Chain A
Amino acid sequence: RKEVEQDPGPFNVPEGATVAFNCTYSNSASQSFFWYRQDCRKEPKLLMSVYSSGNEDGRFTAQLNRASQYISLLIRDSKLSDSATYLCVVTGFQKLVFGTGTRLLVSP
């Protein structure tokens, strides 16, 4: 089983749509959880950390279910600039373990 699994997409949505991404992880000892964003041929950039209580940052909401080993990201009111690959990331202690990413394409 892969350490971090994501649907690769692409998700094609119109501007203004709400889109949700999911991710599962295999290591129950994972301590921290993140969503990173990666634009084509660029470095990953932290979008937000994910907490069990759920957290929101503007149009973005992340949720963690430790019992199910499941992480989600919800993007509301999609913008053209949201087009990117969204990487689900978990950690043990120091290293980051990345999923393959879910590609989002937002069209006018």
Chain B
Amino acid sequence: EPEVTQTPSHQVTQMGQEVILRCVPISNHLYFYWYRQILGQKVEFLVSFYNNEISEKSEIFDDQFSVERPDGSNFTLKIRSTKLEDSAMYFCASSDREDSYNEQFFGPGTRLTVL
């Protein structure tokens, strides 16, 4: 069964450092998403991406964040200068349809720890 994969599973970084979180969406999917979940809190939407453009982003997704699809398979989330409060689980998701009736498939997540 096809699945979304994410690397690394755990990233530890110092405050102020740049991190890149990587995702490989399901191969025939065209819509990509990043969500985050701070420990003990709800899953929060960050950004959606289609046709090499951001289609929607939340207030959390400020200038410190960027997304890219550098090749035909990877989808990345970059945090330019990490803060302590960026520590969270980051989930990538993908779907093959634009509308929300279709399931978004989630990857296993990257746990980001900012020290």
Contacts and interface: CB of A to CB of B under 8 A. Distances in A.
A97 B45 CA distance: 7
Interface of A: 31-32, 38, 41-46, 49, 87, 91-101
B68 interface: no
A42 B111 CA distance: 10
Q: Which 10 A-B pairs have the closest CB atoms?
A: A91-B100, A43-B106, A95-B45, A98-B43, A100-B42, A32-B100, A94-B48, A98-B42, A46-B103, A32-B101
A92 B93 CA distance: 17
Contacts of A92: 100
B18 interface: no
Contacts of B103: 46
B56 A95 contact: yes
Interface in B45-89: 45, 48, 55-56, 58, 89
A99 B42 CA distance: 6
A45 B106 contact: yes
